[in-house]
Amino acid sequence: MIVVSKKTEVHSLLENKRQSGSKIGFVPTMGALHDGHLSLMREALRVSDVLLVSIFVNPTQFNSSSDLENYPRQLENDLALLETVAPNAVVFAPEVTEMYPPNETLRSYDLGGLDDVMEGAKRPGHFQGVAAIVDKLFQISGPCKAFFGEKDFQQLAIIRHVAAQYHPHVDIYGVPTRRESDGLAMSSRNMLLSPALRAEAPIIYQSMLKFARQVRHDGIEACLKEFVAMVEKSGHLKVEYAEVARSKDLKSVTDFEENTRFFTAVFAGDVRLIDNVSLS
């Protein structure tokens, strides 16, 4: 495994590999790696020759300084885990100033209105920050296949939009959500949950599955009410939003239709958990 921290090092390493005919598979992460990240890497290794993994907690996508401060950072553990699953990977783990030189003015990205809803509405500026880092990382990686989780479905849609405009030579792959055995979507934030809240959190996915089973019959409004009641029953979890939106353009719908997904964000104490599931 090769670990580098400078853009120029990644660029020249990848150019060398490309010249010998290798196809690059790129998995961007913020570290605190778990099996969800590894499933992206397995998929990347399946369809490409060289795996590039970035580990960078991107400050511009955090809209709360305490969230940024508390975000888990464990580079040594991450590298040890990566060594066991992808010993030939190229790992890019830059400092903040390498990605955001002082005095740099960030551009504003056209996100096609996909950022007006759900995560974008609740976390102003979040997706501009995501677009900024993904743009920068794609500039460094060059043409490649890049892998993102459906766990962050809105992010995936926005990255497809950004890549189509600014990086047409990058192929975007979406990878299904990996879950713990009790159904909780794997997330780096899960390790911030107290044992009591961790024990309660699986009710989110259980309630989502119930929603998905009943929505055709009972309708969206009634099922949303039941979802919120089920999740909030103990008094320790709080639903920030729950809605049904079209998979393609993320437009919210109130009457059930095909090709939609159920999306939710739930606070478990201070920890904000997001999840989504296909309804058709």
Nearer to ligand AMP, 220 or 263 (CB): 263
- List the one residue out of 248, 242, 244 whose CA is nearest residue 264: 242
Measured distance CA(12)–CA(198) in Å, rounded: 43
Is residue 193 a contact residue for ligand AMP (CB under 6 A)?
no
Interface pick for ligand AMP out of 186, 239, 266, 271 (rule CB under 6 A): 186
Nearer to ligand AMP, 141 or 188 (CB): 188
> Measured on CA atoms in the order 10, 16, 17, 19, is the torsion positive or negative?
positive
Binding-site string for ligand AMP from residue 199 to residue 238, where x marks contact by CB under 6 A and - marks none: ----------------------------------------
Q: Report in angstroms the alpha-carbon separations of 108 from 12, 118, 205.
A: 28, 20, 35
Measured distance CA(181)–CA(45) in Å, rounded: 24
Q: At what angle do helices 153-166 and 126-141 cross, to 10 degrees?
A: 50
Point out the catalytic residue in the list 37, 126, 161, 167: 37
Is residue 261 a contact residue for ligand AMP (CB under 6 A)?
no
| Least Å from the CB of residue 241 to ligand AMP | 18
| Least Å from the CB of residue 110 to ligand AMP | 21
Is residue 188 a contact residue for ligand AMP (CB under 6 A)?
yes
| Least Å from the CB of residue 67 to ligand AMP | 12
Q: Are 41 and 171 in contact (CB under 8 A)?
A: no
Is residue 184 a contact residue for ligand AMP (CB under 6 A)?
no
Q: What kind and span of H or E run contains 52?
A: strand 50-55
Is residue 39 a contact residue for ligand AMP (CB under 6 A)?
yes
- Known catalytic residue: 37? yes
Query: Which of the stretches 149-157, 197-205, 215-223, 270-278 binds ligand AMP when contact is defined by CB under 6 A?
Result: 149-157
**123: alpha, beta or left, given left = phi > 0 and alpha = psi -120 to 50?**
beta
Nearer to ligand AMP, 134 or 220 (CB): 134
Interface pick for ligand AMP out of 48, 177, 190, 276 (rule CB under 6 A): 177
Is residue 260 a contact residue for ligand AMP (CB under 6 A)?
no
Sheet architecture: strand order including 2-4:
2-4, 90-92, 50-55, 24-29, 144-149, 170-175
Q: What kind and span of H or E run contains 2?
A: strand 2-4
Q: Report in angstroms the alpha-carbon separations of 7 from 12, 54, 142, 145.
A: 9, 11, 11, 18
Q: Which residues bind ligand AMP (CB under 6 A)?
A: 29-30, 36-37, 39-40, 148-149, 151-152, 175, 177-178, 185-188
Catalytic positions, written as ranges? 37
